[in-house]
Structure 1
């Protein structure tokens, strides 16, 4: 029977309308579906959890096991199961979130409005509790290229913050022009062939989702098996591939890395089956800052007739300019014939306002499978190239303005500054006992390890000293992503790192540390 997507992202089997998105793909066993009029399993599990919790008291959720939440828990997708398991051991964040020791209650809309100066003061008081990223002490989340670049992006964003790219073909042709030019500039950097094309998206996760969606639907059009289709990715690949697989009814095989922490191409080749749809490589990967052997993956993709996606969300707008600064960077772009698509984040080392990424396809034929088109409703045809319908014009204008403001020479200078920061950090680490870089050469990202100290204790002490970065577990390391503005504070960073190592040596760490990406 025909299928359509239910409002909860699940499947219905009795709907006569079949949209093109995911057309004709039956739900695998671990994808939610519900006949019309029946509650979604997740809804039922959530209600049952609330009932069970209320019968056990305020902290009742802590005592609930996943199998108590839903007797058919094995029918839930992995993401839903893990969410339920977490809910079973933590209090509901919608019920209670403590800020400064005060239990949170649900906010209600004020009866009367407030004036802007009052609201601005309140917002600034909220912001005062956040990391002060302009102090250049942040090694994750924000990519700062200086006040001038920031102001250009901000003003351009403000000029277009109301405009809607959903109407770029009709009401706002300037947005269409700017997006096309941003994509053209990205394709030039990544050596896109004449038929290559792309779109702006809200971020790397959406770019990856759309690449996976296009790959899946193209495979289906070629009469290949897509039910339970597989993505083969290195263990270091971004979790967005798992998210995309969860959304699209696919599976992910994460393959162990080589000892040098790059993708093991032979192991990936050995994992290929008749269900394999996509191979993935990173340029560079987020955990280690290393570029996978994309040339070898390109050859493998051609040999096995598979889609190769290169996740260059970190390096897409950085690696080309590192090359121009004389840095030896591996080939990763469309010069390799097996590369089908590339994701590259503008709001990372493109230094543009969030939320801005790009997804590039080798051919227009490929991108056709990214599109969503629908006509079976009263308001006529709707066509969107991305997951979002409404898209703010702000990120498009901000990206266009920053790219024109910096130009190739500006980006090359920013890349030179990153090279200099990393050179000085690596040199300075030689004078800090017990802390060493995991790898001699990485691209912006520098994991640091210790054979004698608890490196997470060092990381915690750095946070106490005002340096906000992330940590990792394989191996145990502190994780810093350097950007151009760090050049102003690199000596201060090394001085505090030496202090942190000494403090960790003396005091150790208070309590456990959970390594997190966000």
Structure 2
């Protein structure tokens, strides 16, 4: 049958991807290890794939499921009964909407948002999209947490222009929770909105033992909060929730226009047409696993995180960049090896770990997202880590040639044309012998070059890479 042939082709294409199950991909995907929950999600996704969330009166089932998810999440996030919520496509859209809503609620010249330097890159994207200037405040170099006094000083330095203050629970890069309570209080004292990015922690922290410091709506100054269900609720991608403390705070999020001859456009999110499949899948998986099930999954996940953290801390050449507050780990190395080679070596042994570039005074690290399915593989991970460290130490750190380092520092990405970008891709090792784009099997030399490149040049290089990849 034709369909069988197409499915065979899809299966062949899929073989080149990272595995989404088994707990060995420690970024991008989340695996509960529960086959029945996966099956429920897939079936619900298929049942509602052709529905459209554009008009909740046309598909009231979607509105009902959205209300159910918000009602379930409200007490987990310490939200009052007045809190309202919206299902979005993911954490980035939730953050975009939080910024857009804050900007539109307070029209000022040169709007500003104050965030720690460890805030997710989605805030930078929102700044770019919505014309809100991002003021990034350095974090404590030891704890990697936002500094309340420095955040308050930034609010005062830009008084009259600040439309939003944001903090993380936890930060993606280091897995630590910012001091939400004092920062939210400082924002409230100045009449400012405060958003908590709990996209990656919001479905872990409610069940964490011991309980973390207040991170959610229990902090009076918190006005909005985002939490992704396609992360630790283990639902199919992509579903996130954006909660506001009151309906009045949310209202500027909505968009409507009747100023054209078609239907009156009315949207709660940046999307208009959107499949109801992910929403239905999230509803089904959350109902299937239930609160007690999530409590068990979080206990398994955090126990695995602690075992990994202890194992890493006792190994030569490695250290934790920060003590973890949730299920994320950041690992740094000494001068005997680099994280980029270590990442390649772990990949050779079947483990995907995500290298993170150095930033200001913060060193390059390896990011590990631990999920419930990782728990059974902790010993195997540590064995692979020992082998990988030994191999990376034997090879030595990747050295970037001084002339390449100097050339990168001297380039102005704003003035580079298409041909120059192609040349840079070749220098970075991303162009094959015939000029075609290629991704080398070992990325350490590429990542080491990107690590020493100024951030603007690094961005330009990766945009050029994405452009070529999608041509």
Report the Cα distance in structure 2 between the residues aligned to 1:429 and 1:195, rounded to whole angstroms: 44
Residue 445 of structure 2 corresponds to 511
Pick aligned residue for 1:438 from 310, 321, 326:
321
Residue 362 of structure 1 corresponds to 245
Pick aligned residue for 1:484 from 357, 372, 381:
372
Report the Cα distance in structure 2 between the residues aligned to 1:128 and 1:142, rounded to whole angstroms: 16
User: CA 1:377/1:430 → structure 2, altered by over 3 Å: closer, same or farther?
Assistant: closer
Could you report, residue by residue, the CA deviation over 1:324-348 in whole angstroms, capped at 9, with x for unpaired residues? xx22312111111100100111111
Residue 164 of structure 1 corresponds to 52
Shift of 1:430: 4.8
Given that residues 288 and 442 in structure 1 are in contact (C-alpha distance below 8 angstroms), is that contact kept between their aligned partners in structure 2? no
Report how many residues are paired: 396
SS in 2 for 1:133: coil
Residue 389 of structure 1 corresponds to 272
Shift of 1:427: 2.9
Shift of 1:317: 1.0
Is 1:294 the equivalent of 2:180?
yes
Pick aligned residue for 2:25 from 135, 138, 141:
138
Given that residues 22 and 374 in structure 2 are in contact (C-alpha distance below 8 angstroms), is that contact kept between their aligned partners in structure 1? no
Pick aligned residue for 2:352 from 463, 468, 471:
468
The structure that is helix-richer by fraction is: 2
Could you report, residue by residue, the CA deviation over 1:362-410 in whole angstroms, capped at 9, with x for unpaired residues? 0101111000011112124221100100111111111111111111110
Shift of 1:434: 1.6
CA RMSD of aligned residues (A): 1.7
Pick aligned residue for 1:255 from 134, 137, 141:
137
Could you report, residue by residue, the CA deviation over 1:100-138 in whole angstroms, capped at 9, with x for unpaired residues? xxxxxxxxxxxxxx9211111111111111112323210
Report the Cα distance in structure 1 between the residues aligned to 2:27 and 2:71, rounded to whole angstroms: 28
User: CA 1:437/1:240 → structure 2, altered by over 3 Å: closer, same or farther?
Assistant: same
Pick aligned residue for 1:312 from 188, 195, 198:
198
Moved more, 330-339 or 452-461: 452-461
Given that residues 165 and 194 in structure 2 are in contact (C-alpha distance below 8 angstroms), is that contact kept between their aligned partners in structure 1? yes
Given that residues 174 and 324 in structure 2 are in contact (C-alpha distance below 8 angstroms), is that contact kept between their aligned partners in structure 1? no
Residue 290 of structure 2 corresponds to 407
Report the Cα distance in structure 1 between the residues aligned to 2:303 and 2:86, rounded to whole angstroms: 33
Shift of 1:436: 2.3
Shift of 1:217: 1.1
SS in 2 for 1:125: helix
Given that residues 115 and 135 in structure 2 are in contact (C-alpha distance below 8 angstroms), is that contact kept between their aligned partners in structure 1? yes
Pick aligned residue for 1:154 from 42, 46, 52:
42
Is 1:266 the equivalent of 2:149?
yes
Shift of 1:414: 0.6
Report the Cα distance in structure 2 between the residues aligned to 1:442 and 1:329, rounded to whole angstroms: 7
SS in 1 for 2:366: strand
Given that residues 205 and 211 in structure 2 are in contact (C-alpha distance below 8 angstroms), is that contact kept between their aligned partners in structure 1? no
Given that residues 226 and 240 in structure 2 are in contact (C-alpha distance below 8 angstroms), is that contact kept between their aligned partners in structure 1? yes
SS in 1 for 2:253: coil
Q: Superposition pairs for residues 61-80 of structure 1, below 5 Å?
A: none
Residue 189 of structure 2 corresponds to 303
Report the Cα distance in structure 2 between the residues aligned to 1:386 and 1:133, rounded to whole angstroms: 28
Given that residues 167 and 178 in structure 2 are in contact (C-alpha distance below 8 angstroms), is that contact kept between their aligned partners in structure 1? yes
In structure 1, list runs of 5 or more residues that go unmatched.
Answer: 1-113
Shift of 1:140: 0.5
Q: Superposition pairs for residues 95-134 of structure 1, below 5 Å?
A: 115-134=2-21
Shift of 1:228: 1.6
Question: Given the two structures, how large is their TM-score scaled by the length of structure 2?
Answer: 0.81
Q: Superposition pairs for residues 216-255 of structure 1, below 5 Å?
A: 216-220=103-107, 225=108, 227-255=109-137
Residue 438 of structure 2 corresponds to none
Residue 334 of structure 2 corresponds to 451
User: CA 1:427/1:340 → structure 2, altered by over 3 Å: closer, same or farther?
Assistant: same
SS in 2 for 1:135: coil
Report the Cα distance in structure 1 between the residues aligned to 2:62 and 2:313, rounded to whole angstroms: 50
Report the Cα distance in structure 1 between the residues aligned to 2:213 and 2:285, rounded to whole angstroms: 26
Is 1:190 the equivalent of 2:77?
yes
User: CA 1:178/1:492 → structure 2, altered by over 3 Å: closer, same or farther?
Assistant: same
Shift of 1:423: 2.1
SS in 2 for 1:243: helix
Shift of 1:512: 4.3
Given that residues 166 and 196 in structure 2 are in contact (C-alpha distance below 8 angstroms), is that contact kept between their aligned partners in structure 1? yes
Given that residues 140 and 146 in structure 2 are in contact (C-alpha distance below 8 angstroms), is that contact kept between their aligned partners in structure 1? yes
Report the Cα distance in structure 1 between the residues aligned to 2:78 and 2:238, rounded to whole angstroms: 24
Shift of 1:203: 0.6
SS in 2 for 1:344: strand
Given that residues 22 and 373 in structure 2 are in contact (C-alpha distance below 8 angstroms), is that contact kept between their aligned partners in structure 1? no
Report the Cα distance in structure 2 between the residues aligned to 1:477 and 1:263, rounded to whole angstroms: 19
Pick aligned residue for 1:351 from 234, 241, 248:
234
Is 1:175 the equivalent of 2:58?
no
Q: Greater relative contact order: 1 or 2 (C-alpha under 8 angstroms, separation 6 or more)?
A: 2
Given that residues 137 and 467 in structure 1 are in contact (C-alpha distance below 8 angstroms), is that contact kept between their aligned partners in structure 2? yes
